[in-house]
Amino acid sequence: MSSIPIPHDISFEGAAHHRVLIIGAGPAGYTAALYAARANLAPVVYTGLEPGGQLTTTTDVENYPGYVDGVLGPAMMEDFKAQAVRFGAEVEYGEITHLDLSQRPIKVVVDEETGVLADTVIVATGASARYLGLENEKRLLGRGVSACATCDGAFFRGVDLAVVGGGDTAMEESLFLTRFASRVWLIHRRDELRASKIMQQRVMAHPKIEIIWNTVVTDVLGADEVTGVRLRNVTDNSERDLAVSGFFVAIGHTPNTALFKSWLDVDEQGYIETRSGSTQTNIPGVFACGDAQDHVYRQAVTAAGTGCMAAMDAERFLAARAG
Ligand code: NDP
């Protein structure tokens, strides 16, 4: 994604023209699609590179209302999509690579080549996992370093693993990894976890998980594959190496908003700012919802809620313009 201007050779002559164009296919994007479809606005959803969003990298979702026994994240996203499609939403597997929000209709470029026009745009691009920023963490990514236990955990059977982070994601990743690993070290930089109490209790009660408090990871060790991590205790500055075969980073997320930064107001972390009680951005007809806009709640159900709001805001915008 970039915010570079639309290349001159992209043609918009005869381009598809949508009343509602949704960027992103997680709970927010699909819910916006469902509501816009039921309002007869024939929305199109561009999925980006990760259709289904972050929920496709998770296993059991136990806190989405209505699923009494829980549901697998990817299955839930298939349900969301099918429901939106049933009412006429169109789902396209493409990435929005450029856009121009300064004119009406809004100009959008898909996969660097196809011009598309839209009366309203709903940004539902979500957020992506954050890394520590260590050189060897990057070098060993996919060779023992991962930010997704549910994607990669099964590759690490019967070995010791490390997880860094103190939030709900780190708890969830640690608990998931106990299915495969012989032991999970949870490394946290403070002496108190940020995660919800119920997740903390599960982690602390688990016989395979051990928490290393007040400690940061200063290096990832290994020539071709991870063999360990270097740790520094922040209270006494002592260093030691911990032998592990896998290193899972679970330290939060960055909103996927780079494409919009030259157009839309964002906060210091890059989350899109919307008018209080609404999904309206600083540009009329452009709405933002889900994790790209919400750094506080970041739940599937709140993302779905703001997706609904965005569709209703878009509908009202179009109705006001028509009337
Ligand atoms: P959070 O922002 O909640 O937590 C990030 C954690 O990583 C914090 O403990 C933080 O430490 C630590 N951290 C951040 N940067 C670094 C760094 N550079 N080095 C070491 N540690 C670092 O992110 P999560 O992804 O865990 O959760 C995001 C949201 O999603 C939360 O609202 C959470 O409740 C929700 N969530 C809910 C789930 C569920 O209900 N099933 C599952 C997963 C997420 P510190 O605490 O010191 O700041």
The answer for residues whose C-beta is within 8 angstroms of residue 229's C-beta and 6 or more apart is: 162, 187, 217, 219, 220, 221, 241, 242, 244, 247
Picking from 45, 16, 259, the residue whose alpha carbon sits closest to that of residue 117 is 16
Give the residue, by CA position, lying nearest to ligand 1 atom 14: 251
pLDDT tens by residue, 47-91:
998 888 877 766 678 889 999 999 998 899 999 999 999 999 999
Asked if residue 108 lies in contact with residue 21, where contact means CB atoms within 8 angstroms, the answer is: yes
Q: Which atom belonging to ligand 1 lies closest to the Cα atom of 296?
A: 32
Task: Extract the tokens encoding 70.
Answer: 């829980």
Buried b (16+ CB within 10 A) or exposed e, 22-35: bbbbbbbbbbbbbb
Active site residues: 148, 151-152
pLDDT for position 59: 67
pLDDT for position 2: 45
Name the pLDDT band for 253 (thresholds 50, 70, 90): confident
Average of per-residue pLDDT across 20-35 = 98
Give the residue, out of 194, 201, 229, with the most ligand 1 atoms within 8 A of its beta carbon, to mutate for a pocket test. Answer: 194
Name the pLDDT band for 317 (thresholds 50, 70, 90): very high
Picking from 66, 215, 50, 6, the residue whose alpha carbon sits closest to that of residue 147 is 50
The rounded Å distance from CA 193 to ligand 1 centre is 9
**How crowded is residue 218: how many other Cβ atoms within 10 Å of its Cβ?**
12
Residues with CB under 6 A from ligand 1: 63, 132, 164-170, 172, 189-190, 194, 196, 216, 251-253, 298
Mean pLDDT over all residues of the chain? 94
pLDDT tens by residue, 145-194:
998 887 789 889 999 999 999 999 899 999 999 999 999 999 999 999 99
Q: Which atom belonging to ligand 1 lies closest to the Cα atom of 129?
A: 25
| Rounded distance between C-alpha atoms, residue 239 and residue 204, angstroms | 24
Give the residue, by CA position, lying nearest to ligand 1 atom 30: 298
pLDDT for position 306: 98
Q: Which atom belonging to ligand 1 lies closest to the Cα atom of 172?
A: 42
Residue 229 identity: V
CA torsion angle 49 50 51 57 (round to 10): 170
pLDDT for position 58: 65
Packing angle between helix 27-38 and helix 300-322, nearest 10 degrees?
A: 40
Residue whose entry in the numeric block shows the structure tokens 């992103």: 24
pTM metric for this prediction: 0.78
